Amino acid sequence: MKKVVIILTLLFPLIVYTQSVPTKKEQYDFLKWAIKSEDLRYMIMETDLFTITDLGTGDKTTLDYLKVNSKEKAYFAKQIKYNAAHRVLDSTMLPGIHLQEALSDETRFTRIAMPIFSTNKRMIFLKYYYRSGGSERARINIYLTDKNGKWFYSHIQAFPTMDGME
């Protein structure tokens, strides 16, 4: 029995690491829904970066409050690493959503990060950053799925504007 526990302990990181990231279809299906349900406008093609520290640092982070275990944190980190290598939205996966370029400091735009899913895909983190004139804001929304697999908005973790104004 002790050998089995040791073997499982050694294999656990490999099991988490081998779980594949969400498919492109899963990511874009959620993005289409979120963009429409949140009425996000002025979308640009370049994606924002999502990091684990976006979910908080210090003694108690958002992940701690949500009781996210180390397996989930490792899965989030794997997705973040994967998404960092894919920094441009695929417009063919977002039919009907106009994507534009950020033209200048005065341009209004929204830059969205690829969503981060829990291992069971029932909790999803979505970060977006928007600028309008000289004002900039970033926020992370947390979505859950109900027993029928429908997404719903659960929680906002808002960040202050870049200029210090809330």
Angle at the Cα of 38 from the Cα atoms of 138 and 106, rounded to 5 degrees: 50
Give percent of the chain with pLDDT exceeding 90. 19
Instruction: Flag whether 26 is in a domain.
Output: yes
Instruction: Flag whether 99 is in a domain.
Output: yes
Instruction: Flag whether 145 is in a domain.
Output: yes
**pLDDT higher for 104 or 8?**
104
**Average pLDDT of span 109-130:** 90
Angle at the Cα of 116 from the Cα atoms of 86 and 13, rounded to 5 degrees: 95
Instruction: Flag whether 163 is in a domain.
Output: no
Model's pTM, two decimal places?
A: 0.77
Instruction: Flag whether 9 is in a domain.
Output: yes
Q: What's the number of domains the chain is made of? A: 1
Residue ranges making up the domain that contains 78:
2-158
How far apart are alpha carbons 36 and 53 in whole angstroms? Answer: 27
> Looking at the predicted structure, is the pLDDT value of residue 15 above 50?
no
- In the DSSP assignment, the letter for residue 94 is S
Contacts for 58 with CB less than 8 Å, ≥ 6 apart: none
Instruction: Flag whether 166 is in a domain.
Output: no
**Average pLDDT of span 124-149:** 84
How far apart are alpha carbons 142 and 162 in whole angstroms? Answer: 21
